[in-house]
Amino acid sequence: MKAYKSMSKEELSALKAELSAAYEDAKGKGLKLNMARGLPSAEQLDMEADFFNTLNPKSEFHSEAGVDCRNYGELIGITEARRLMGDMMGVSPDNVIIFGNSSLNIMYDTVARSMIHGVCGSTPWCKLDKVKFLCPVPGYDRHFAITEQFGIEMINIPMTENGPDMDLVEKYVNSDPAVKGIWCVPKYANPSGVTYSDETVRRFANLKPAAEDFRIYWDNAYIIHHLYNGVEEELLEILGECEKAGNPDMVYEFCSTSKVTFPGSGVAAIASSKTNLDFIRKIITIQTIGHDKLNQLRHVRYFKNLDGMKNHMKKHAEIVRPKFDLVLSTLEKELSEAKIGTWTNPHGGYFVSFNSLDGCAAKIVSMCKEAGVTLTGAGATYPYKKDPNDSNIRIAPTFPPISELAQALEVFVLCVKLASVEKLLEA
């Protein structure tokens, strides 16, 4: 196959006619395939059916500290759940509070709490003229939706192979007191799959914020979500690095078991300094008497320890890995020589990040939808849904059965080819 940009107008026109005919044929198949979000597949969820046998009416419902998990109490979570989630993040259970089933919910509440109550005694953000957040891009659309809903100004920070552009991060954080936070998915990032380098983590820890209430929102969603045995990327533990740098209060770390056990029925947690957690505890004492301790107990008894969680994640990887391999091999086979796109090759997480020729992403997503394949919306990986290059598309391969994924990818590469040809003919 010839690189599309090296083709003559005549060659491109002939190719367009061929691709258009194939596209009309694809539309006639009546496909209804969905790759819009990073959901576990039914096969992954079925794998965990024995989870429901962990507790039964004859079970012992008391925690190791003697707390009856059927009753009120334990605002910050039972000790063994804090230990399990702390081990997952590599921090002490003393630095952990267990919440409900969703880390996104904790992140939303953390921003809302800062808006209403401030951060550890600082001025509530709602009383400030301007609040800004840094947003590594491409990034997680739901992060951006939170800050957009609260009217927080979002600033794009380009991602590199080592994490966010730290020169820009330092420039904004260290000089502008209106910058109050940065969103981060530091391991197997959504959607790029990048794991932040040790240098990047240390530069985060050594920031010198102009705002005393600046916090790093460290969403460690994919901390144990490896795809390939022997290629398990490591992430430097940031709470300890912040402590060493004299910035112990600068980070909120979030995690959950949403893609370890069941989305919507997992356990979520925040890890931070004693100062931050004491302030959070004071607020949530009014908000709740406590979260679902039976679910905390169920998770602890199901996994027993971090090794149990890691072994469980290897079973997930066995199901997910062939889907990623199919995506990457299809893109390589169909698009590599044409030079009409680039893509990431992640070692973990839930996504592949694809970049089309500039100005083509929205058209590709629209064409796919018309042919029966639903993708994450173009622009979703940028604040305000505005991709300045209209090029990034998040591919989420985990949910469909592999046979449907193959069909969806066939449509996707066809749409990439046709949209690219049409773009080049416009030039």
18 and 111 in one domain? Answer: no
Paired tokens of 199: 């240098």
334 and 234 in one domain? Answer: no
Alpha carbons 202 and 312: distance in angstroms, whole number:
31
219 and 184 in one domain? Answer: yes
For residue 194, the model assigns a pLDDT of 98
Q: Is residue 54 situated within a structural domain? A: no
90 and 34 in one domain? Answer: no
401 and 253 in one domain? Answer: no
Q: Which of 260, 287, 304 is the last residue of a domain?
A: 304
160 and 246 in one domain? Answer: yes
Alpha carbons 336 and 343: distance in angstroms, whole number:
10
Q: Is residue 56 situated within a structural domain? A: no
170 and 222 in one domain? Answer: yes
270 and 187 in one domain? Answer: yes
Q: Is residue 57 situated within a structural domain? A: no
Q: Which of 304, 324, 350 is the last residue of a domain?
A: 304
Q: Is residue 52 situated within a structural domain? A: no
pTM, 2 dp: 0.96
Q: Is residue 111 situated within a structural domain? A: yes
322 and 252 in one domain? Answer: no
For residue 2, the model assigns a pLDDT of 87
Task: For residue 94, give the CATH number of its domain.
Answer: 3.40.640.10
Paired tokens of 116: 């209403």
183 and 162 in one domain? Answer: yes
242 and 105 in one domain? Answer: yes
Task: For residue 356, give the CATH number of its domain.
Answer: 3.90.1150.10
369 and 226 in one domain? Answer: no
Q: Is residue 53 situated within a structural domain? A: no
Q: Name the residue range of residue 82's domain.
A: 62-304
Q: Which of 240, 271, 304 is the last residue of a domain?
A: 304
For residue 1, the model assigns a pLDDT of 74
Average pLDDT per run of 10 along the chain, which is 427 residues long?
92 97 95 92 93 93 96 96 98 98 97 98 98 98 98 98 98 98 98 98 98 98 95 96 98 97 95 98 95 97 97 97 98 97 97 98 98 96 98 97 97 98 94
Domains contained in the chain, number:
2
- Is residue 350 within 8 A of residue 225, CB to CB? The reply is yes
Q: What is the 3-state secondary structure (H, E, C) of the chain?
A: CCCHHHCCHHHHHHHHHHHHHHHHHHHCCCCCEEECCCCCCHHHHHCCHHHHHCCCCCCCCECCCCCECCCCCCCCCCHHHHHHHHHHHCCCHHHEEECCCCHHHHHHHHHHHHHHHCCCCCCCHHHCCCCEEEEEECCCHHHHHHHHHCCCEEEEEEEECCEECHHHHHHHHHHCCCEEEEEECCCCCCCCCCCCCHHHHHHHHCCCCCCCCCEEEEECCCCCCECCCCCCCCCCCHHHHHHHCCCCCCEEEEEECCCCCCCCCCCEEEECCHHHHHHHHHHHHHHCCCCCHHHHHHHHHHHCCHHHHHHHHHHHHHHHHHHHHHHHHHHHHHHCCCCCEEECCCCECCCEEEEECCCCHHHHHHHHHHCCEEECCCCCCCHHHCCCCCCEEEECCCCCCHHHHHHHHHHHHHHHHHHHHHHHHHC
Q: Is residue 50 situated within a structural domain? A: no
